[in-house]
Amino acid sequence: MERITAHYLIETPYKLEDAAAVLAGEQSSGTFVSVPGETEELKARFAAKVENIEELETVSNPSIPGDSNSSSYKRARVSVSWSIENFQYNIPALISTLQGNLYELRQFTGLKLDDFDLPLSYSEKFRGPVFGGKGTKGLAGVEEGRPMIGTIIKPSVGMTPENTAEIVKELLKAGIDFIKDDELMASTANSPFEKRVSLIMKEINKYQDRTGKKAMYAFNISGDLDTLRSNYESILKHDGSCAMISINSVGWAGVKAIADLGELSIHAHRNGWGMLNRHPLLGINFPAYAKLWRLAGVDQLHVNGIRNKFWESDESVIRSIKSCSAEFLDYKDLLPVVSSGQWGGQAFDTYKFTGTTDLLYMAGGGIMAHPSGPGAGVRALKQAWEGAVSGKTLEETAKKYKEFAESVQKFGNKN
């Protein structure tokens, strides 16, 4: 029978073998005393198996509260597997197995789901991203060899649809590929969703009629299920191409129901991510997280950016970008949404460490606050990427291009 294998980082004051056995027991048959009906045959078929233990360093202080009357805590990578008979093709049941009560076990003073592997048969039940990274770039008419260039409407909340459409018009003139609502902006008192869609899409459609280029706007459709659906319909009605969802706030089942509709590229915003990932030994790492959302069918997923304004390390960002195009079932790639404090200066390291231009490269202030205006801001970003892809350094690129040189001057001391 096919099996699913999950890979964890753990920390425990106990023998690694014993701690791993507790994890496997709790997540298949366990209770604190043995009960009638728990036969050997059942155990063989449904019990989780510890597949591998790789010991890492030992530390003297526990990372999170648990059984902590010890002076030494061992860390390890542990792989555990389950038969797919345990949950069949039910993803919430899979999540409850891989990420459920095991975080409650006092035998662990650290536990993080790092990654998991599924048998190929899952791809028959879940189609994954409809557009994927390359398909999404195609929808926005982005030529080969460079990332999609995007920006976020700021201020995050407060503007009217008219204000916002005005800014969109300016950004379109500047040659932007992609614009998005902030995750704080769903439907505010002065910016009702459908009116915002209607005014913004009017600008985008007009610009397309004139130039042939259809920029993508990610409207934040987040809400309860009725809201998600009616917002999605509004976007279709006005010929939009993308819907944004705050995936942690809406949840897996709601996101899946919307992605199933299959007509818009789904921009997955992972706000709340820090809560799930920021502690090095608690929660979930991006490779596992990205797979769960790829199963739900999202097309674009936030990954933070190199030298971002947030806490996340470059190493983690690079691993996340690579996860988006890592082989998973027979699925299309995810489009990594690179953002937070980006202005073009980070294009060089982003390309150096990931080797890809299948990215959505987002800059907020980096475009809108460019000294020669938003058009120059967009050009500066494209120049940065042109330089990076052709093997130039930041300095060489700044020498060649005026707008990028201005960016370096204005934003270069930020990171």
339-368 binders of its own copies (CB under 8 A): 340-341, 364-365, 368
Smallest separation, CB 259 to its own copies (Å)? 11
Where helices occur in 188-298 by DSSP H, the ranges are 193-211, 225-237, 247-250, 252-259, 273-277, 286-296
Contact residue for its own copies among 53, 59, 157, 389 (CB under 8 A): 157
171, 177 contact by CB (below 8 A): no
Is 276 near its own copies (CB under 8 A)? yes
User: Phi first, then psi: what are they for 33, rounded to 5°?
Assistant: -130, 155
How many residues of this chain bind its own copies (CB under 8 A)?
A: 101
Smallest separation, CB 105 to its own copies (Å)? 7
Binding mask 125-154 for its own copies (x = CB under 8 A): ---------------------------x-x
Is 46 near its own copies (CB under 8 A)? yes
Smallest separation, CB 207 to its own copies (Å)? 20
Both tokens assigned to 383: 């120049």
Of 313 and 393, CB closest to its own copies: 313
How far is residue 319 from each of residues 103, 108, 209, 290, measured CA to CA in Å?
A: 24, 25, 40, 11
Contact residue for its own copies among 15, 206, 279, 399 (CB under 8 A): 279
Q: Following DSSP, what letter does each residue of 287-305 receive, concatenated?
A: HHHHHHHHHHT-SEEE---
Of 18 and 310, CB closest to its own copies: 310
Smallest separation, CB 297 to its own copies (Å)? 11
Beta-bridge partner residues of 79: 7, 52
∠ CA(163), CA(226), CA(195), 5° rounding?
A: 20
Contacts 24+ apart (CB under 8 A), 269-273: 269/183, 269/220, 269/244, 269/245, 269/302, 270/301, 270/302, 271/183, 271/246, 272/246, 272/248, 273/248, 273/302
| Pairwise CA distance, residues 21 & 17, whole Å | 6
Binding mask 303-332 for its own copies (x = CB under 8 A): -x----xxxx--------------------
Both tokens assigned to 26: 């709790």
Contacts of 102 (CB under 8 A, 6+ apart): 23, 26, 27, 108, 111
Q: Which of residues 24-43 bind its own copies (CB under 8 A)?
A: 27-38, 42-43
Of 215 and 368, CB closest to its own copies: 368
Of 56 and 93, CB closest to its own copies: 93
Smallest separation, CB 374 to its own copies (Å)? 9
Of 223 and 287, CB closest to its own copies: 223
Q: Which of residues 168-187 bind its own copies (CB under 8 A)?
A: 183-184, 186-187
Is 402 near its own copies (CB under 8 A)? no
Contact residue for its own copies among 24, 130, 167, 176 (CB under 8 A): 167
Contact residue for its own copies among 206, 237, 278, 402 (CB under 8 A): 278
Q: Which of residues 194-253 bind its own copies (CB under 8 A)?
A: 220, 222-225, 227-228, 246, 248-253
Is 371 near its own copies (CB under 8 A)? no
Smallest separation, CB 339 to its own copies (Å)? 10
Neighbours of 225 (CB within 10 A): 12
Name the residue among 251, 281, 247, 249 with its Cα closest to residue 267.
247
Smallest separation, CB 125 to its own copies (Å)? 10
Question: Rounded to an integer, what is the distance from CA 23 to the centroid of its chain?
Answer: 27
Of 36 and 212, CB closest to its own copies: 36
Of 92 and 391, CB closest to its own copies: 92
Is 280 near its own copies (CB under 8 A)? yes
Contact residue for its own copies among 274, 307, 314, 353 (CB under 8 A): 274
Contact residue for its own copies among 137, 214, 256, 291 (CB under 8 A): 256
Residues 229-240 as b or e (16 or more Cβ within 10 Å = b): bebbebbeebeb
| Pairwise CA distance, residues 303 & 310, whole Å | 11
Binding mask 76-115 for its own copies (x = CB under 8 A): -------x-xxxx-xxxx-xxx-xxxxxxxx----x----
Both tokens assigned to 328: 């998973």
| Pairwise CA distance, residues 235 & 218, whole Å | 9
